[in-house]
Structure 1
């Protein structure tokens, strides 16, 4: 199954503490699976942990979260070498790709070294749902704000650019994100930026933002646009997803 058109779910959420497991997939991941259109079999979800160096303990947690959710989770590892011979074939066989957070700068460098950037574009064009959290959100845009270089937030402007916007993640939980996004949009470093509070996701069909959704009540999504030499922010009220 495919989503019917290129689809991205870019989030600042999707994971929660489990009951009998350390991690469970929350409503944003389930929504990405729903958008894939899969039915009549277990959904195929690829977990990509490049941004945290393919940490094996978290890969195990993601696979276990998939078991609890009823998904077949396939990890894609690039450290110390790709764990599959045919990266493109494995990615294109999925219903959903979920990219973990961490260092977006390191993720982009490693993906480019292995040609995964081009594979992800082909997957998007082939209507595999692309999704992720934090670094796994920023990577689909032109860029955003990151602590990949150190504790001081800095811009990254060379992300994959499937979506022609900037991206602000953890908008409500990291005090430095909002003012930096405003400054980068105001001075033209980033184009208009789409931003999410923790627990919120943005759904794109093609390059159009069609909906904001949330797994946590009271949270928001935002569009920051340049007007003259200043940035103007508009809040988008997300639709609350049913709990899972």
Structure 2
């Protein structure tokens, strides 16, 4: 089955430490699986481009899938894609979950392989798109990233499925909030949707329908420019605890 409408779950979380494994699917990933409408054993496509398709991460994700009763496939683009039919590969899943790392590198590699158009087709077909950190920023028009070094920079070449900018890890990295506020005030970033660690944002089409968190604390926020003052204004979203 497919989701009944295009759905994205953009997060700063999703993974939790397992009881007997390195990783388990946290409540945010489980929410994405639930939203897909999958019955039986759900099919999840794990995309690790932002971390260079690290094989040890793939193994931990595969193990997490086994524990959760989820069939996991890894879309490795290094050293080459697993098939000539990348669209068919992606569309044969209920959920696409994109891991974190370098969003700048992810977007560059995806462009080479035409993954942007494929992800849009999957989204429109009801495959739930989700991810953490770089795997969140990629769905937006852009955001703030450490892809280039410890000094945060703005990227504006995201896929643009969501017509906003993204801010991740707002509560755990000291420079995130001031950098986002500065970028929004200057116009480098558009209206920006932000998440603390453990929080996520659920979109149907391009409409934000819910902010959620897999942790007791941590929030989600809207940052936009006040045209009268030229300053960035931050407003918290109501958050449902999973």
Q: TM-score range by the shorter chain?
A: over 0.9
Q: Normalized against structure 1, the TM-score is what?
A: 0.97
Distance in 2, matches of 1:224 and 1:154, equals 17
Q: Deviations over 1:137-186 (max 9, x none)?
A: 00000000000001110001111000000100000000101011111111
Q: Deviations over 1:177-205 (max 9, x none)?
A: 10111111111111100000000000000
1:236 aligns with 2:240: no
Q: Deviations over 1:93-137 (max 9, x none)?
A: 110000000000000000000111110011111110000000000
Distance in 2, matches of 1:15 and 1:33, equals 14
Where 2:223 maps in the other structure, the secondary structure is strand
Answer yes or no: is the 8 Å Cα contact 1:6–1:126 preserved in 2: yes
Distance in 2, matches of 1:53 and 1:134, equals 15
The Cα of 1:18 is off from its aligned counterpart by 1.0
Distance in 2, matches of 1:17 and 1:66, equals 13
Distance in 2, matches of 1:157 and 1:180, equals 14
Unpaired stretches in structure 1, ≥5 consecutive residues: none
Distance in 1, matches of 2:69 and 2:75, equals 19
**Structure 2 match to 1:183:** 182
**Structure 2 match to 1:12:** 12
**How do 1:77-116 residues align onto structure 2 when only pairs under 5 Å count?**
77-116=76-115
The Cα of 1:58 is off from its aligned counterpart by 0.2
Unpaired stretches in structure 2, ≥5 consecutive residues: none
Distance in 1, matches of 2:82 and 2:57, equals 16
Distance in 2, matches of 1:218 and 1:146, equals 23
Q: Normalized against structure 2, the TM-score is what?
A: 0.98
Stretches of 4+ aligned residues off by more than 3 angstroms: none
Answer yes or no: is the 8 Å Cα contact 1:76–1:84 preserved in 2: no
- Greater Cα offset, 85-94 or 48-57: 85-94
Q: Deviations over 1:72-93 (max 9, x none)?
A: 0010000000022311001011
Alignment length (residue pairs):
240
Distance in 2, matches of 1:66 and 1:89, equals 21
**Structure 1 match to 2:34:** 34
